[in-house]
Amino acid sequence: MNHLYSRRGWSVLAACTFVAALLPLLHLALPAGHPLHVSGYAMGLVGKFMCYALAALALDLVWGYTGILSLGHGLFFALGAYAHGMYLMRAIGRDGSYGSVLPDFMVFLDWKGYPWYWAFTDHFWYCMLLVVLVPGLIAFVFGWFAFRSRIKGVYFSIITQALTYACMLLFFRNDTGFGGNNGFTDFKRILDFPITAPGTRTALYLATLALLVGALLLCRWIVRSKLGRVLQGVRDAESRLMFIGYDPLAFKLFVWTLSAVLCAIAGALYVPQVGIINPSEMSPANSIEMVVWVAIGGRGTLAGPIIGAFAVNGLKSWFTAAFPDLWLFALGLLFILVTLFMRKGILGTLPLLARLRPAARAGAKVEVKEEAA
Amino acid sequence: MKRMFSSLLATLALCLAGLANAAIDPALLQPLAGDDPDARVDAVTRIAATGRPDARTVLQALLDDELAATPDGQVLILRGDQALDPATGKTVPVPEGIDGIVVNNRLRGAAQAALSGLALLAPEPERRLAAAQALQGKVPDAAQAPLLRQALRRETDPDIRAILVQLVAGADLESSDPARRRAAVAALADSGTPALRPQLQAMLAKNPDGSHIEGDAALRGAAEATLRAIDRRSARNDIIANLFYGVSLGSVLLLAALGLAITFGLMGIINMAHGELLMIGAYTTYVVQSLFRHYLPGALDWYLVAALPAGFGVAFMVGVLLERSVIRWLYGRPLETLLATWGISLVLMQAVRTVFGAQNVEVANPAWMSGGVTVLGSLVLPYNRIAIIAFAVLVVAVVWLVLNRTRLGLFVRAVMQNRRMADCVGVPTGRIDMLTFGLGSGIAGLGGVALSQLGNVGPDLGQSYIVDSFMVVVLGGVGQLAGTVIGALGLGELNKFLEPVAGAVMAKICILAVIIIFIQRRPQGLFALKGRSVE
C-alpha cells in the first residue's frame, strides 16, 4: 500500500483523519461549557459534509479522471438514501403518529400492506445490499446503453439531467410508494439504537469517516493503477485509445457504475445523520451543485473534491444563516468565477501560486506532481 | 313525485304570471320566509320560472341579503330605509318587526342557478348565449323546462336556439310524459353532450328484479342509439381536443426552445441560463403591463404590442452582455460553459427574486385574448392558445428568414460551418458570435412574453422549461430549425395523447424515457447533419 502516497502524503492523510476522529471524542468526553467542546450540531454538520465529500469524490472519478460529466449523480445519492430510508422507516415500528406497522404516509394513503418492493426491507443488511445494488444496476443499464451508442460530452450530461429530473417527478408521486413530497422522515432508531442519541450519532460519524477514507484510498489505488491510466486516456484522447486497441465501453461502464455505488453509499450515510430524505434531493440543481464542489476543489485530483465539498458547504452553512438572500448570488458567482479564473480549482491553482514565489520554485515541482497525480 | 308536482306547479305559475302580468304572486314568495328548506328552494325555482324582470330583482335581492320578511310572512326587498313589495311592485315604508331572510349555501346555489337561467331571457344576445352555454355544462333539471321553453319561444338567434333545443330536450328527459321523453331522446340523437349520459343510462337501468325501469322498449332503443351517438361524438371531440392542445403545447415548447436551437444548435453553447432569459421576457411583459396600467390605462388591451419588442430587446441586451462578459472566454469548453451559465441562471433568478419578490406576479390576458371559440358544439378553443400558435408560426418564419435570407444569417451559417475560413474571408466572427447569441436570447425573450400569457410568471418560470427545451433541441437534431419544429410538435402531441392514458406526471416520465431511448438509437437527433459539418 505504501506506493499509494509519498511519506508526506500519508502523514497529511493521517493527520486529517486524526483531527476528524477527534471531533466526536471532544463532543462526548468534554462537558458542554468547555472551550474545546464540540456541539452535536457541529459534529452533525461535519458528518454531513463528509457524505457530500464522498459523493464529490465519486463524481470526480467519472468527471475528473474519465471526462464524463454527470449531471445526475444526485439521483444515485438519493437512491442510496431512499434504500437506507426504507429500513429506517420500517424500524420506526408502531411509534408513528398513527400507531400502525405501516409508515405514516401509507396509512394516510389508506394502503393495507407494503408494496412488493418493500419486501424484506425490515432487515438492515438486505437494505444495505439494496443501497449498493439498485443504484449500481440502474447506473450499469443506463451506462451500457449510453456508452454503447457512444453518447458523450454535453449530450451525456443533458441525458443524465433528464434522468434525474424524470426520477424526481416519479418520486414526487404519492403512488410510487416512497412518501411523495415529504419523503421519509421522523426516524426513531437504527439497529435498535435510538437515532438521536449522542452515541449513535458518533458511531454514524465514525462510519462515515471510515468509508470516506476507505473510498479515497480505493480511488487513489484505481487512478494509480493501469486501469486508471486507461481512464485518463479515455478522458484525453478517446479515439486514439480505440485505435490502440482498447474498447472504452468496459472501462467507462466500470468507473461509471463504481461512481454511482460510491455516491449511493454517501446517500445511505447521509440519511440517518440528517434525518430526512425527499425527492428534491433528485432535482437537477442538486446534481449540478455537486459538480461545483468538484470544480472548485479541483477536478482530476482526489483531495480536491473533498476540499471543495467542505469549502462550498461550509460557506453555504454560514451564508444561509448570516445572509439567506445572498447565498444564491454567492453560489452563482462562484460558478462563474471558478470556471473563468480557476479552471483547475483550489488544488490545481495552489501549486501555480507557489511557483510564483522564486524561493519555493525548487520545491514546487515535487508538489505539483503529488497533487496532480 | 315531488319533482313532477313542482314542475306542474311551475307551468301553472307561468300561465298565471302570463295572465296576471302585474307582479309576482305572493303565494310564490311566501315559502321564502318559512323554515322548510325544500320549500324555499322550490320557491326560488318557481319564481325564476315566471321569467319576469321582477323575478330577477327578487332573486338578486335574495343573493345580496336584501330580502326580509314581516312576522306575518310578507316578503319585502329592503332598499335603505325604504322597502319594495315585490308582490305589488310598490314602495312601502319599512314595517315594524321585520327580519332578514337567512340565506344558506343551498338556497344561494339555487338562486344563482335560477338567475343564470333567467339570463336566457336577457335582451342582449351575448348574455343569452353565455347563459345557455353555462347551462350546457350542468345536469339538466326538469323544473327548468318551462323557463327553457319560454326562452326557446322567444329566441331568434339560430346558434342560441340550437343550444336551447338541446337544453329543453335534456330537461324533458326527466319529464313524466312518455311522449315528451321520446321526443327528447330523439332530439338529442344528433346534438347531445356527454353531460346527458347519466340520464340516458338511467333510462336503460333495470330494477333489482330484472325488469326495466323504463317501460317503453322503443324509447329504450332510441336512448341506446342516442348514447352511442354521444359516445362517438365525444371520442371524436377528445381526439380533436388532444390534437389542438398538443399543437398548443408544441408551440409553447417551440417558443421556449427556438432560442436554444440557435445558441446551442448553431453555436454549441450549452446555455443553462436559457430558461432565465424566458423568465426575463415574461417579467418584461409584467413591467410593460404595469407601465400601461399606470400611464396608458386606455390602451391596456394593446400592451402586448409594446411588450414584444421590449421583451426581445431586454433579453437581447442581457444575452449580449453575457456573451461579452462570460461566454466568449469559454468557447470550445462546453462543460465549463454549462457550469458558468448555470451560475448565471442562479444569479438572474435571485436578482429577479430580490427585485420583484419571490411570489408570482400577475400578468393578465388582454381582453381580446380571453374567452374562446366554440367548435363542434362543445369544444372550446381558448383564444390565448390560438394566438400563441399563430405567434410561434410567425417567429419561426422570421427566424428562418433571418437565417436564410439576410447577410447576418449568411455570416452566422458561415461561422457555424467553418469558423476559420469565415474569419479568413473577413467575417467579423467575434461580433457575429455576439449577435447570434443575442438573437437566440432575444427569441427566448419573445418566448417569455408568450409564456406569460399562458401560465404563472415567477422566478422559477425558467427552471420548468429548461429540461424540456434541451430535450426538444436534442430530439430535433442540433443545428436544424426544421428539426426543432418537428421535435417540439412531436413532444407536444405525444404528451397530450399520453396524458389521458397515463396521467400528467407519468406521461412526462414516459416521454423522457422515450427520448433517452431515442437518443441511444440516433445520437444526432431526428435530422442529423450529414457530411463535413459533423463533429
Q: What is the ipTM of this complex?
A: 0.82
Strands (E), B332-473: 372-375, 379-382
Question: Can you give the pLDDT at residue B478?
Answer: 67
Q: Alpha helices of B453-480 — where are they, by DSSP H? A: 463-476
In 3D, which of A187, A171, A179 has the Cα closest to residue A106?
Answer: A179
Beta strands in B196-253 (DSSP E): none
Q: What is the CATH number of domain B240-529?
A: 1.10.3470
Q: Could you tell me which residues come within 8 angstroms of residue B445 by beta carbon, excluding any fewer than 6 positions away?
A: B259, B277, B278, B280, B281, B284, B311, B312, B313, B314, B315, B316
Q: What is the structure's pLDDT at B10?
A: 54
User: Cβ distance B44 to B59 under 8 Å?
Assistant: yes
Which pLDDT value is given to residue B137? 65
Distance in angstroms (rounded) separating the CA atoms of residues A309 and A286: 13
Model pLDDT for residues A49-74, shown as the tens digit of each residue? 999 999 999 999 999 999 999 999 99
Give residue B478's region: left, alpha or beta (phi > 0; psi -120 to 50). Answer: beta
So what's the pLDDT on residue A273?
A: 92
Please tell me which residue, B495 or B478, carries the higher pLDDT value. Answer: B495
Give me the pLDDT at residue A363, please.
47
Question: What pTM was estimated for this model as a whole?
Answer: 0.74
Search chain B and give the residue with CA nearest A144: B520
CB A298 within 8 A of CB A347: yes
d(CA B452, nearest CA chain A) in Å: 24
Give the pLDDT confidence of A94-125 residue by residue, as tens digits.
888 887 888 888 888 888 888 888 888 888 99
Task: Residue A340: list chain B partners with CB under 8 A.
Answer: 326, 329-330, 340
In a domain, A293, yes or no: no
The mean-pLDDT minimum among B205-209, B275-279, B523-527 falls in B523-527
Chain A's closest residue to B331, CA to CA, is A340
Optimal mutation site among A141, A159, A181, interface B, most CBs of chain B within 10 A: A159
Residues of B in contact with A154 (CB under 8 A): 270, 334-335, 338
* Strand B379-382 with B372-375, pairing: antiparallel
Average pLDDT over residues A344-373: 60
Say if the Cβ atoms of A335 and B346 lie within 8 Å: yes
Residue A364 pLDDT exceeds 70: no
CATH 1.10.3470 domain extents, chain B: 240-529
Overall domain count for chain A: 1
Residue type, B203: M
The label of the residue with cell 487513489 reads A220
* A93 found inside a domain: yes
Q: Flag whether pLDDT at B394 surpasses 60.
A: yes
Answer yes or no: is pLDDT of A19 > 70. yes
Q: Which residue of B has its CA nearest to A288?
A: B339
Nearest to B519 among A159, A169, A343 (CB): A159
pLDDT single digits (tens) B99-149: 777 777 777 877 777 777 777 777 777 777 777 777 776 666 666 777 777
- The set of long-range contacts for B198-201, using a CB threshold of 8 Å and a minimum separation of 24, is B198/B139, B199/B139, B199/B140, B199/B170, B199/B173, B199/B174, B200/B173, B200/B226, B200/B227, B200/B230, B201/B227
CA-based nearest residue to A49, from A268, A321, A317: A317
Distance (Å, whole) CA B51 – CA A178: 57
| Residue B357, min C-alpha distance to chain A (Å) | 11
pLDDT at B492 over 60: yes
C-alpha distance from B360 to closest chain A C-alpha (Å): 17
Identity of the residue in A145, A170, A328 whose CB atom sits nearest the CB atom of B350: A328
- Residue pair A288/A328 in contact (Cβ under 8 Å)? The answer is no
The answer as to whether A348 is a domain residue is: no
User: Chain B, 320-349: which have a CB under 8 Å from a chain A CB?
Assistant: 326, 329-330, 334-340, 342-347, 349
Q: How far is B228 from chain A (nearest CA, A)?
A: 34
| Residue A370 belongs to some domain of the structure | no
B90: enclosing H helix or E strand: strand B90-93
Which residue has better confidence, B261 or B281? Answer: B281
Query: Would you place residue B517 in the very low, low, confident or very high pLDDT band (cuts 50, 70, 90)?
Result: confident
Whether the pLDDT of residue A132 is over 90: the answer is: yes
Taking the Cβ of residue A141 and every Cβ of chain B, the question of whether any pair is shorter than 8 Å is answered with no
d(CA B376, CA B360): 36
Contacts of B473 in chain A (CB under 8 A): none
Say if residue A341's pLDDT is above 80: yes
Map grid coordinates 426575463 to a residue.
B280
Q: C-alpha distances in angstroms, A127 versus A119, A123, A258, A265, B404? A: 10, 7, 18, 11, 59
Cβ separation B509–A169 shorter than 8 A: yes
What pLDDT is recorded for position B406?
A: 92
How many angstroms separate the CA of residue B501 from the nearest CA in chain A?
16
Residue A48 has pLDDT above 60, yes or no: yes
For chain B positions 438-477, those within 8 Å of chain A (CB to CB) are: 463, 467, 470-471, 474
- Calculate ∠ Cα B99-B100-B105, nearest 5°: 145
Greatest Cα-to-Cα distance within chain A, rounded to the nearest angstrom: 74
Identify which has the larger pLDDT, B8 or B30: B30
Residue A33's domain comprises: 2-283
What distance in Å separates the CA atoms of residue A46 and residue B295, rounded to the nearest whole number? 56
Nearest CA in chain A to B346: A332
